Amino acid sequence: MPDGSPVPGAAQRRPRLSVTLKIGTVFVILSLIFGLLLLVNSYLTQQLIGASSAINHAGSQRMRVYRLAFLMNQPGPKSVVFRDLVLREIEELERVLSGLRHGDARYGLGKETDPKILAAMMRIEGGWTSEIKPLLMRAVTAGPAEMAAVLEQYNLRAPSFASSWSDIVEILEERTESRVGMLHRLQFSFLVSAAALLVVAIFLLRRMIRDPLRVLTRGAEQMALGHVPTALSLRSGDELGQLATTFESMATRIGQHIEQLEALRLTGQEITTLEAGALEQALRRIADRAADLVRADLALLLVRHPILECWVIEAASSRIFDAVRKQVLLFEETPLTTRVFDTRAPVLVADLSEHAEKRIRFRDEFGAKSYMAVPLHGPHDLIGVLVLLQTSAVRQFTDLEVQLTQQFASYAAVAIENARLLEAAEAETHHLKDKLRDVDRKIADLTHEVKAPAGRVAEFASWIVQDYASRLDDRALRYLDWIQKEGRDLMDLAERTLDLARLAAERQVVESVDVDSVIKEVLELQARLLAARGIDITVQPNMPRFACRRIHLKQVLGNLVDNAIKYMGDQPAPAIEIGSEDGQVVYVKDNGVGMEASMADRIFQPFQRLGTVEVPGAGLGLAIVKTVIEHYGGAVHVTSKSGGGSTFYVRLPIIRSEPSPASKPSES
């Protein structure tokens, strides 16, 4: 799937149900239920308030009846104020009775249907109309004599009228008590329902939001740990489901990219370790991996023949590898491949059937429906073409797939070039090895040829001295002595040259060598010469153990000590010190004539000698030292100054000994 391409599946569609819509629906339902409960509660509360108001008004009217009785029972003549008070009370009672009759809200009563209250109201209206109101009207206009009779009748009928108001109060109190209980039950139910609804809402929100988020979080954590999840247990039609689908698509793409990077890494590693004769299998694996990653059915790697005008199939994916390898294809039957080579650019054909007029070998032989080919760019020119075919169905290759194919084509080109260079290098190496062996053989033969005559010359000179010394003068004897010396030096040179050749040619088995014992042997061999020159020897104890051959280390230290003795000069207090630095380097230090710094590297070359001092020897001692040391992967160097002596440092692989029990830290 190319970068930037749209994510397939549900991630492309709008969610069927939005998370916001789901949460909003839950809250709307909760709000409606809570609103309904609040409306019922408000209605009952309003009823209680109305009943309480009605009880208060009924009680007030009953008190009004007694207040009128109190006014009329006052002694003395009735004044205008009395008449006004009575008339106002009559008017107020009329309004109250009218409100009771028609359900006036000011008095806390609506249109009543309760038969008990209706009966009490009828008694009140009957008593008021037929008894109480007429008496009150007579009291307003009656004189003192008539007032006594009116007052007597009012006192008789007032208790019954007040009792009717008390009946209404009792009925309203019973109704109020019932509604208070209902209100309490409703409030309890409201609390229980509210708790249940909250639990349901929490469950729904958890199911809709928290659980999907936990699934997505676990997927993200797995991806952070390097485990790419292929599927999430989350299927919903909201944004979270869409996010899960997008996450799965992203994880799939990351997995594909990881697979691609791993295939490219393996291919690159295989190319860097390509050995002789492994090119064909390496190219086959490149074709297989390219076909797998691009999801193509077939892959073929074609190389242009350097002389003939044709293609050679160097490799193919596994299904057809054995059938087509090393086949030759003509240019006229591979027009698309030839176009890739000519244009040096990829060629993509989604439907090969559109090119029915052309002869295309891949379509006709393999049934290819779609085609892609990219060039193999070598360091100097194009090498060939990597072709991918789709035989199962027509398809469109993406930009990312083209880039992957180009990467594999680059690997294939590098592999082919490396194989060619490796073959050329191996051929040249074999040729050089043959020449070197021939040179070594000739050097050995020549050295043997020189060694025998040199020995015979020295031997002949000694015979002449032995047999004819009495007949020769001093000059002749001196000449013969020179002949013997030069013959011995020439023989020694030949022997050392043979040693140097054998050392470079033979493979040696290392051993653990005690440097202290080797130094002791070297000094014993040089003891006569050291004593003759009066050289003071200092040797540090506890030298390291080197991983080499004992005879070679003896040869190295012997040459270094011999070199120090030869170049000691006229030093009045000659001294040689042999020691170790850091437990890894052994040095041989002298206080002889030394040398210029410019000579530090040249003295390790064969036949190089210090020109300031004339000493015997062939000039191969330090060259042998360097050859031996480098044979074991070690190093040798010298620090010196003219007239200030020299110090030679030797580094070889060391063998570390286990610490003794006394030196090990104790365990607590």
pLDDT at 577 over 90: yes
User: Of 226 and 388, which is predicted with more confidence?
Assistant: 388
Token duo for residue 206:
């958890």
Q: What is the mean pLDDT of residues 201-229?
A: 75
Q: Residue 657: what are its φ and ψ, rounded to 5°?
A: -85, 150
In whole angstroms, what is the distance from residue 165 CA to residue 125 CA?
Answer: 11
pLDDT at 528 over 50: yes
Can you give the three-state secondary structure of 170-233, one letter per residue? HHHHHHHHHHHHHHHHHHHHHHHHHHHHHHHHHHHHHHHHHHHHHHHHHHHHHHHCCCCCCCCC
The closest alpha carbon to 313, from 343, 277, 284, belongs to 284
pLDDT of residue 436: 61
The fold for domain 508-655 equals Heat Shock Protein 90 (3.30.565)
Q: What percent of the chain has pLDDT over 70?
A: 74
* pLDDT tens track for 615-640: 555 566 788 888 888 888 889 999 98
Cβ contact 610:593 at 8 Å: yes
pLDDT at 458 over 70: no
pLDDT at 537 over 80: yes
Q: What is the mean pLDDT of residues 48-66?
A: 71
pLDDT of residue 3: 44
User: Of 518 and 425, which is predicted with more confidence?
Assistant: 518
* pLDDT tens track for 547-572: 888 888 888 998 899 888 888 888 88
The fold for domain 259-406 equals Beta-Lactamase (3.30.450)
* pLDDT tens track for 259-269: 766 666 666 66
The closest alpha carbon to 414, from 279, 532, 535, 504, belongs to 279
pLDDT of residue 449: 57
pLDDT of residue 489: 62
> At 189, which amino acid appears?
S
pLDDT of residue 103: 57
Burial of 421 (0-12, 13-18, 19+ CB in 10 A): exposed
pLDDT at 11 over 60: no
Distances (CA, A) of 6 to 9, 10, 261, 501: 9, 11, 22, 71
pLDDT of residue 518: 92
pLDDT at 499 over 90: no
In whole angstroms, what is the distance from residue 139 CA to residue 146 CA?
Answer: 8
pLDDT tier for residue 165 given thresholds of 50, 70 and 90: confident
Q: What is the mean pLDDT of residues 98-127?
A: 66
pLDDT at 666 over 50: no
Q: How many other β-carbons are positioned within 10 Å of the β-carbon of residue 114?
A: 13
**CB neighbours of 11 closer than 8 A, spacing ≥ 6?**
242, 245, 246, 249
pLDDT tier for residue 5 given thresholds of 50, 70 and 90: very low
pLDDT of residue 307: 77
In whole angstroms, what is the distance from residue 408 CA to residue 294 CA?
Answer: 11
Token duo for residue 633:
């992967």
pLDDT of residue 481: 76
pLDDT at 164 over 70: yes
* pLDDT tens track for 344-364: 899 998 888 888 767 787 887
Q: What is the mean pLDDT of residues 237-264?
A: 69
Cβ contact 103:110 at 8 Å: yes
Map out the domains of the chain as residue ranges: 29-193, 259-406, 508-655
> 524-563: b or e for each residue (b if 16 or more CB lie within 10 Å)?
eebeeebeeeebeeeeeeebbbbebbeebbbbbbbbbbbb
pLDDT tier for residue 520 given thresholds of 50, 70 and 90: very high
pLDDT at 315 over 70: yes
pLDDT of residue 299: 87
Of 35-49, 398-412, 512-526, least confident by mean pLDDT is 35-49
Averaged pLDDT of the chain: 75
The closest alpha carbon to 414, from 516, 267, 287, 249, belongs to 267
pLDDT tier for residue 498 given thresholds of 50, 70 and 90: low
pLDDT at 270 over 70: no
Q: Dihedral of the CA atoms 390, 393, 395, 401 (nearest 10)?
A: -40
pLDDT of residue 551: 83
Rg (Cα) of the chain, in Å, rounded? 61
Burial of 424 (0-12, 13-18, 19+ CB in 10 A): exposed
pLDDT at 609 over 70: no
pLDDT of residue 586: 93
pLDDT of residue 661: 44
